Amino acid sequence: MRIYPTMELRNGRCVTLDKGRLDEAMVWHVNPTETARSWSAAGANWMQLTDFDAIEGRDTNAALIEEIIRTAEMSVQLAGGMRSREQVEHWIDKGAGRIVIGTLAARDPQLVKELARLYPDQIVLAVDVWQGYVMTEGWRTQSAFTPMAFIEAFADTPFAAILVTDIDSDMEDVEAQLGLISGLAEASRTPIIASGVVRVTDDISRLAYIPNISGVLVGRALFRKTVDLGEALEVAKSAHEPVAAFQ
């Protein structure tokens, strides 16, 4: 299972949100570029980078994101405001390892299927769930899709992964989130990346044994220092190692 240390940007600063509320963002006074490099130094091969300004139609963080992609020394899975083919292809050309798409998949599923075929292993489908339905527009608009129906609509699409976030129980009820995520993982043909379920390292241990979970985002817990990235990477790496039979 892969650990994705996760950085969320707003106005050039690292932030974390409670249930997607931008007006209540917690600002972390760290250097984003240096933080990304420190994650690479700790052993991470991938990171998730979400641009909250792009979700609102602003390119405030564009230069910073390009710098992180250039200097992080690991692959970047980029999310936020990918509302057109041009935006997706722009960031692939700039070196993003993967692009996360949510709202565009609900608006224009045929385009997203085409992009997934054109860019194998570079397109990730975002499934953000609130009260049983998929949310779009940066978690502000409820769609008519249940998460299962949304995933089934893309059943034959060659996504790199499907990123699942249960906004409703965000960090408050990890057991409920694990129930939702494990159910979707069981039904999906595409590997699932879980978001919002890691408070402490033990949560990674539990997640590693759910079938078809290929990775997990870890953001707030890193900034709060309730999870050490090096330790989390070791736990994820060793979770499925064979254990000698009891004698």
Instruction: Give the CATH number, domain containing residue 150.
Output: 3.20.20.70
pLDDT on residue 175: 64
Write down the residue that tokens 């079938």 correspond to: 211
Assigned domain for 152 exists = yes
Catalytic residue list: 8, 128
Question: What is the predicted pLDDT for the residue at 22?
Answer: 65
In a domain, 142, yes or no: yes
* The total number of structural domains that make up the chain: 1
User: By percentage, how much of the chain surpasses pLDDT 70?
Assistant: 89
Give the contacts of 20 (CB within 8 A, at least 6 positions apart): 128, 135, 138, 139, 140, 167, 170
Token pair for 20: 């997607």
Q: Is residue 123 part of a domain?
A: yes
Q: What global pTM score does this model have? A: 0.91
- Angle subtended by helix axes 32-41 and 62-71, to nearest 10: 20
Residue 64 in any domain: the answer is yes
Tell me the residue type at 29: H
Within 8 A by CB and 6+ apart from 133, the residues are 142, 143, 144, 145, 146, 147
Mean model confidence pLDDT for the chain = 90
Domain that residue 65 falls in: 2-237
Distance of CA 2 to the CA centre of its chain: 11
pLDDT in tens, 74-107: 999 999 999 999 999 999 999 999 999 999 999 9
Q: Is residue 242 part of a domain?
A: no
Q: Examine residue 243 and state whether it is found in any structural domain, yes or no.
A: no
Q: Where are the beta strands (DSSP E) in 93-212?
A: 98-101, 123-130, 133-136, 141-142, 161-166, 192-195
Residue 244 lies in a domain: no
Please say if the pLDDT value at position 243 is more than 50. no
